[in-house]
Chain A
Amino acid sequence: GQNIDQPTEMTATEGAIVQINCTYQTSGFNGLFWYQQHAGEAPTFLSYNVLDGLEEKGRFSSFLSRSKGYSYLLLKELQMKDSASYLCAVRDSNYQLIWGAGTKLIIKP
């Protein structure tokens, strides 16, 4: 079967750095997405990786290793507004998105 694993919840301090991991086993691979979702709101796109390596976009970076079935989202200089759920999603060989359950990130002052 297809499976995506992320930690359920993480806590970090304002101004610090946090890394959210995602491991996947899917039928084929056509890209990995990270979305941010604030409570009661729609998911918003953060990043996309299809080749191995690091993609940097401001305070957020995302890394992919296809051989290990592994990705992480790195958030720097954390702000209170970064408190949200972070969803990892993999596009499989049929171009269907397989979603992880999401990681709830709690930022403390």
Chain B
Amino acid sequence: DTEVTQTPKHLVMGMTNKKSLKCEQHMGHRAMYWYKQKAKKPPELMFVYSYEKLSINESVPSRFSPECPNSSLLNLHLHALQPEDSALYLCASSQPTTGTATQKLFFGSGTQLSVL
């Protein structure tokens, strides 16, 4: 199994809603990532979990709250989002990065989020 599964594929939410994005992988990867991608732009790193511990938080607003319940699952809890948060949210996984080994990222198909 070389897949990263994300749900839902599409999400429309109001600015007062609370929703969660889910990500799952069964490749034994111990690093998991959340990226945000706007149209025609590269992915922007939001959070990194390494061995289920939050290792990187790229100054993301607190209305985004990550959670890593176990080594296979990664969630992103959303609350009080703004219209400018509308984007494609990508989950990825890899082996933790050490040295110059490849540790390529495997991406999920993403959640297209629209905030009204």
Contact = CB atoms under 8 A, between A and B. Distances in A.
Interface of A: 30-31, 33, 35, 40-45, 48, 50, 87, 89, 91, 95-97, 99-102, 104
Given A31-B100, A50-B100, A95-B97, A42 B42 contact: no
A31 B41 contact: no
A56 to B, nearest CB: 16
A101 to B, nearest CB: 5
Contacts, number: 46
B107 A42 contact: yes
A24 to B, nearest CB: 13
B5 to A, nearest CB: 11
A43 B97 contact: no
B108 A45 contact: no
Given A43-B107, A44-B107, A97-B45, A30 B90 contact: no
A43 B41 CA distance: 12
Nearest to A8: B40
A73 to B, nearest CB: 15
Contacts of B110: 41-42
A93 B104 CA distance: 16
A95 B108 CA distance: 21
Interface in B82-116: 88, 90, 97-100, 102, 104-110, 112
B102 A48 contact: yes
A84 to B, nearest CB: 13
B14 interface: no
A50 B97 CA distance: 14
Given A41-B109, A42-B90, A99 B43 contact: yes
Contact of B43 (A40, A43, A96, A104): A43
Contact of B100 (A30, A43, A45, A101): A30
B97 A45 contact: no
A97 B90 CA distance: 15
A99 B107 contact: no
